[in-house]
Amino acid sequence: MDLFELKREQLKLAPKVVLRDGFSTCKTIAGIDCVTIGHKILAGVVVCDASSFALLEKKTYLLNNPLPYQPGFEAYREMPAMIEAYNQLEQEPDIIIVRGAGIAHPRKLGIATHLGLALNKPTIGVAENLLAGRVEKGKIILDNEVVGFEIKTREHANPLYISPGHLMALGTVLNLIPKMIRYPHKMPEPLHLAHKMARQKVQEEQKLWVRHKSAGGL
Protein backbone atom coordinates (compact mmCIF):
# COMPACT_ATOMS: atom_id res chain seq x y z
CA MET A 1 0.00 0.00 0.00
CA ASP A 2 1.62 3.25 -1.20
CA LEU A 3 0.34 5.74 1.37
CA PHE A 4 1.92 8.68 -0.45
CA GLU A 5 -0.06 7.93 -3.60
CA LEU A 6 -3.26 7.28 -1.65
CA LYS A 7 -2.82 10.59 0.16
CA ARG A 8 -2.36 12.35 -3.19
CA GLU A 9 -5.57 10.74 -4.45
CA GLN A 10 -7.48 11.86 -1.35
CA LEU A 11 -6.25 15.43 -1.78
CA LYS A 12 -7.29 15.32 -5.44
CA LEU A 13 -10.78 14.01 -4.65
CA ALA A 14 -11.53 16.29 -1.67
CA PRO A 15 -12.33 19.41 -3.77
CA LYS A 16 -15.05 17.44 -5.59
CA VAL A 17 -17.08 17.01 -2.40
CA VAL A 18 -20.42 18.85 -2.40
CA LEU A 19 -21.58 20.13 0.99
CA ARG A 20 -25.18 20.87 0.16
CA ASP A 21 -28.17 18.53 0.23
CA GLY A 22 -28.39 16.32 -2.82
CA PHE A 23 -31.91 15.07 -2.09
CA SER A 24 -35.36 16.68 -1.95
CA THR A 25 -37.13 14.06 0.17
CA CYS A 26 -35.90 11.41 2.58
CA LYS A 27 -38.16 8.36 2.63
CA THR A 28 -35.50 5.68 2.99
CA ILE A 29 -32.18 5.61 4.82
CA ALA A 30 -29.39 3.07 4.44
CA GLY A 31 -26.81 2.12 7.04
CA ILE A 32 -23.48 0.55 6.06
CA ASP A 33 -20.97 -1.05 8.39
CA CYS A 34 -18.07 -3.50 8.13
CA VAL A 35 -16.89 -6.20 10.50
CA THR A 36 -13.76 -8.33 10.35
CA ILE A 37 -13.68 -12.13 10.04
CA GLY A 38 -10.09 -13.21 10.41
CA HIS A 39 -8.35 -11.80 7.34
CA LYS A 40 -11.65 -11.04 5.59
CA ILE A 41 -14.11 -8.14 5.76
CA LEU A 42 -17.87 -8.47 5.73
CA ALA A 43 -19.89 -5.41 4.74
CA GLY A 44 -23.52 -5.17 5.75
CA VAL A 45 -26.03 -2.69 4.35
CA VAL A 46 -29.63 -2.21 5.43
CA VAL A 47 -32.35 0.03 4.03
CA CYS A 48 -34.90 1.40 6.49
CA ASP A 49 -38.06 3.42 6.31
CA ALA A 50 -37.04 6.94 7.30
CA SER A 51 -40.01 7.41 9.65
CA SER A 52 -40.40 4.10 11.44
CA PHE A 53 -36.93 2.59 10.78
CA ALA A 54 -38.68 -0.60 9.74
CA LEU A 55 -36.20 -2.83 7.92
CA LEU A 56 -36.97 -2.92 4.19
CA GLU A 57 -33.95 -4.69 2.76
CA LYS A 58 -30.56 -6.07 3.78
CA LYS A 59 -27.50 -7.33 1.92
CA THR A 60 -23.97 -8.47 2.77
CA TYR A 61 -20.72 -9.04 0.92
CA LEU A 62 -17.64 -10.92 2.11
CA LEU A 63 -14.34 -9.52 0.83
CA ASN A 64 -11.26 -11.74 0.77
CA ASN A 65 -7.76 -10.32 1.08
CA PRO A 66 -8.58 -6.67 1.86
CA LEU A 67 -5.78 -4.12 2.08
CA PRO A 68 -4.13 -3.77 5.50
CA TYR A 69 -5.64 -1.33 7.98
CA GLN A 70 -4.12 2.14 7.97
CA PRO A 71 -5.63 5.02 10.01
CA GLY A 72 -7.06 7.66 7.70
CA PHE A 73 -7.20 5.28 4.73
CA GLU A 74 -10.06 2.99 5.82
CA ALA A 75 -11.92 3.54 2.54
CA TYR A 76 -9.30 1.66 0.56
CA ARG A 77 -9.72 -1.34 2.87
CA GLU A 78 -13.49 -1.37 3.42
CA MET A 79 -15.12 0.48 0.52
CA PRO A 80 -14.81 -2.34 -2.04
CA ALA A 81 -16.92 -4.58 0.21
CA MET A 82 -19.38 -1.75 0.93
CA ILE A 83 -19.92 -1.06 -2.77
CA GLU A 84 -20.45 -4.74 -3.58
CA ALA A 85 -23.04 -5.04 -0.80
CA TYR A 86 -24.74 -1.80 -1.86
CA ASN A 87 -24.92 -2.86 -5.52
CA GLN A 88 -27.03 -5.87 -4.53
CA LEU A 89 -29.85 -3.65 -3.25
CA GLU A 90 -33.08 -3.63 -5.21
CA GLN A 91 -34.05 -0.16 -4.00
CA GLU A 92 -31.81 2.89 -3.80
CA PRO A 93 -31.98 4.70 -0.46
CA ASP A 94 -32.27 8.47 -0.36
CA ILE A 95 -29.30 8.86 1.98
CA ILE A 96 -26.60 6.60 3.42
CA ILE A 97 -25.23 6.59 6.98
CA VAL A 98 -21.70 5.22 7.13
CA ARG A 99 -19.70 4.14 10.17
CA GLY A 100 -16.58 6.25 9.88
CA ALA A 101 -15.55 9.82 9.19
CA GLY A 102 -16.98 12.18 6.64
CA ILE A 103 -15.11 15.44 6.06
CA ALA A 104 -13.92 15.41 9.70
CA HIS A 105 -10.75 13.79 8.40
CA PRO A 106 -7.14 14.98 8.02
CA ARG A 107 -7.64 15.44 4.25
CA LYS A 108 -11.42 15.95 4.48
CA LEU A 109 -12.03 12.64 2.72
CA GLY A 110 -13.10 10.03 5.25
CA ILE A 111 -14.75 6.77 4.22
CA ALA A 112 -18.27 8.28 4.22
CA THR A 113 -17.10 11.04 1.88
CA HIS A 114 -15.19 8.67 -0.38
CA LEU A 115 -18.17 6.31 -0.61
CA GLY A 116 -20.52 9.21 -1.37
CA LEU A 117 -18.31 10.29 -4.25
CA ALA A 118 -18.01 6.73 -5.56
CA LEU A 119 -21.77 6.14 -5.49
CA ASN A 120 -22.79 9.76 -6.15
CA LYS A 121 -25.15 9.52 -3.16
CA PRO A 122 -25.78 11.72 -0.10
CA THR A 123 -23.78 10.34 2.83
CA ILE A 124 -23.16 11.10 6.50
CA GLY A 125 -20.20 9.84 8.50
CA VAL A 126 -20.67 8.69 12.09
CA ALA A 127 -17.43 7.96 13.95
CA GLU A 128 -16.63 6.95 17.51
CA ASN A 129 -13.22 8.63 17.43
CA LEU A 130 -12.14 12.07 16.30
CA LEU A 131 -9.66 11.71 13.45
CA ALA A 132 -8.82 15.36 12.96
CA GLY A 133 -9.52 18.82 14.32
CA ARG A 134 -10.63 19.92 17.75
CA VAL A 135 -14.00 20.24 19.46
CA GLU A 136 -15.26 23.65 20.57
CA LYS A 137 -18.75 23.91 22.06
CA GLY A 138 -19.87 20.77 20.26
CA LYS A 139 -18.43 21.78 16.88
CA ILE A 140 -15.52 20.04 15.18
CA ILE A 141 -13.09 22.67 13.92
CA LEU A 142 -10.53 21.82 11.25
CA ASP A 143 -8.45 24.42 9.40
CA ASN A 144 -10.58 27.11 11.08
CA GLU A 145 -13.77 25.65 9.56
CA VAL A 146 -16.67 23.75 11.10
CA VAL A 147 -16.59 20.24 9.60
CA GLY A 148 -18.91 18.36 11.95
CA PHE A 149 -20.29 17.96 15.45
CA GLU A 150 -19.72 16.06 18.68
CA ILE A 151 -22.98 14.68 20.05
CA LYS A 152 -23.91 12.56 23.04
CA THR A 153 -26.58 9.97 22.20
CA ARG A 154 -26.66 7.90 25.37
CA GLU A 155 -26.05 8.67 29.02
CA HIS A 156 -22.64 7.54 30.35
CA ALA A 157 -21.50 6.69 26.79
CA ASN A 158 -18.70 8.32 24.83
CA PRO A 159 -19.81 10.89 22.24
CA LEU A 160 -20.14 10.37 18.50
CA TYR A 161 -18.47 12.54 15.88
CA ILE A 162 -20.76 13.24 12.94
CA SER A 163 -19.89 15.01 9.71
CA PRO A 164 -21.16 15.38 6.14
CA GLY A 165 -19.89 12.87 3.63
CA HIS A 166 -21.01 14.08 0.20
CA LEU A 167 -24.14 15.87 -1.09
CA MET A 168 -25.01 16.73 2.50
CA ALA A 169 -25.13 20.09 4.30
CA LEU A 170 -23.66 20.56 7.76
CA GLY A 171 -26.96 21.69 9.23
CA THR A 172 -28.77 18.68 7.79
CA VAL A 173 -26.33 16.33 9.53
CA LEU A 174 -27.00 17.94 12.91
CA ASN A 175 -30.75 17.85 12.26
CA LEU A 176 -31.01 14.27 11.01
CA ILE A 177 -28.71 12.16 13.19
CA PRO A 178 -30.30 12.88 16.61
CA LYS A 179 -33.68 11.89 15.13
CA MET A 180 -32.28 8.46 14.23
CA ILE A 181 -31.33 7.50 17.78
CA ARG A 182 -33.55 4.84 19.33
CA TYR A 183 -33.02 4.05 23.02
CA PRO A 184 -31.03 2.21 24.26
CA HIS A 185 -28.83 2.19 21.16
CA LYS A 186 -25.91 4.59 20.91
CA MET A 187 -25.63 4.52 17.12
CA PRO A 188 -28.23 5.89 14.68
CA GLU A 189 -30.74 3.12 14.07
CA PRO A 190 -29.74 2.33 10.44
CA LEU A 191 -26.14 1.81 11.59
CA HIS A 192 -27.21 -0.22 14.60
CA LEU A 193 -29.26 -2.51 12.36
CA ALA A 194 -26.46 -2.81 9.79
CA HIS A 195 -23.93 -3.74 12.48
CA LYS A 196 -26.30 -6.22 14.13
CA MET A 197 -27.06 -7.88 10.80
CA ALA A 198 -23.37 -8.04 9.86
CA ARG A 199 -22.47 -9.61 13.23
CA GLN A 200 -25.19 -12.22 12.78
CA LYS A 201 -23.82 -13.05 9.32
CA VAL A 202 -20.32 -13.39 10.79
CA GLN A 203 -21.60 -15.86 13.37
CA GLU A 204 -23.31 -17.87 10.62
CA GLU A 205 -20.08 -17.93 8.58
CA GLN A 206 -18.08 -19.06 11.60
CA LYS A 207 -20.54 -21.88 12.33
CA LEU A 208 -20.34 -23.04 8.71
CA TRP A 209 -16.55 -23.00 8.89
CA VAL A 210 -16.58 -25.10 12.08
CA ARG A 211 -18.98 -27.61 10.53
CA HIS A 212 -16.88 -27.82 7.37
CA LYS A 213 -13.71 -28.35 9.39
CA SER A 214 -15.38 -31.01 11.53
CA ALA A 215 -16.71 -32.83 8.47
CA GLY A 216 -13.27 -32.75 6.87
CA GLY A 217 -11.74 -34.33 9.93
CA LEU A 218 -14.02 -37.38 9.84
State the Cα–Cα distance between residues 134 and 145, nearest whole angstrom.
Answer: 10
H or E stretch at 170? helix 170-176
For 91-100, what is the mean pLDDT?
97
pLDDT greater than 60 at residue 218:
no
Query: Dihedral (C-alpha) 203, 206, 207, 210: value to the nearest 10 degrees?
Result: -160
pLDDT recorded at residue 38? 85
Write the CB contacts of 27 (distance below 8 Å, at least 6 apart in sequence).
49, 50, 94
State the Cα–Cα distance between residues 194 and 214, nearest whole angstrom.
Answer: 30
pLDDT recorded at residue 207? 74
Write the CB contacts of 86 (distance below 8 Å, at least 6 apart in sequence).
30, 32, 45, 59, 96, 119
**CATH 3.30.2170.10 is right for the domain spanning 3-216:** yes
Q: What is the pLDDT of residues 174-215, one digit of tens each?
A: 999 999 999 899 999 999 999 999 999 888 877 776 676 677
pLDDT recorded at residue 217? 52
Mean pLDDT over each residue of the chain, to the nearest integer: 94
For 62-82, what is the mean pLDDT?
94
For 140-168, what is the mean pLDDT?
96
Give me the residue spans of the domains in the chain: 3-216
Q: What is the pLDDT of residues 138-150, one digit of tens each?
A: 999 999 999 999 9
pLDDT recorded at residue 35? 93
